[in-house]
Amino acid sequence: MDGPVVPLVEYEVANDEVRAVYDDIMQTRGTDWVNNFWKVLAHDPALLKRTWQSVREVMAPGALDPLVKEMIYVAVSATNGCTYCTYSHTASARAKGMSDAQLMEVMAVVGMANETNRLANGLRPPVDEAFLPA
């Protein structure tokens, strides 16, 4: 760990615009703390607010349940090799009920997809007619 690129904006020193977002994060999640990701974004309050509102909307229950969404987040983060996101979203998925067996299956699919993506990239089979949208 080599430290954040910009200092963490703690609640105590945050301006009202930032505090309003922090308050909404804590209330939405039912927690009394805000994780470091938001504390670096807070250097640009508009970015903080926009990103939080998008995350809140995107991760809410919809056509997919929140746990499935969180596992997709984990899958993308592992594919991209994002350290912070892997720890934070794996923790979030567990908090939503993901078992170790489910985590291992997510990883198995992620590994397999990354493998076959490259086999297709390198050998370049034409897309089958049957797979094309009507």
Which residues, numbered 65-104, are part of the site for a second copy (CB under 8 A)?
Answer: 68-69, 71-91, 99-104
Token pair 């990701």 is found at 37
Residues 6+ away with beta carbon under 8 Å from 93: 67, 70, 71, 73, 74, 103
x-or-dash string of contact with a second copy, 42-61, rule CB under 8 A: -xx-xx--xx-xxx-xxx--
Q: Compute how many residues bind a second copy; rule: CB under 8 A.
A: 87
Contact segment (CB under 8 A) with a second copy among 10-18, 22-30, 62-70 equals 62-70
Q: Minimum Å distance from CB 18 to a second copy? A: 13
Q: What length is written for the chain?
A: 134
Identify which of residues 23 and 113 has a Cβ nearer to a second copy in the complex: 113
- Quote the tokens at residue 130: 């049957």
What sign has the CA pseudo-torsion 48, 54, 55, 56? positive
> Considering only residues 7-46, where is the footprint of a second copy by CB under 8 A?
7-8, 33, 35-37, 39-41, 43-44, 46
Q: Minimum Å distance from CB 47 to a second copy? A: 5
Give which of 11, 31, 8 is closest to 20, Cα–Cα: 11
* Torsion angle of the four alpha carbons 36, 100, 95, 17, in this order, in degrees rounded to the nearest 10: 30
x-or-dash string of contact with a second copy, 99-128, rule CB under 8 A: xxxxxxxxxxxxxxxxxxxxxxxxxxxxxx
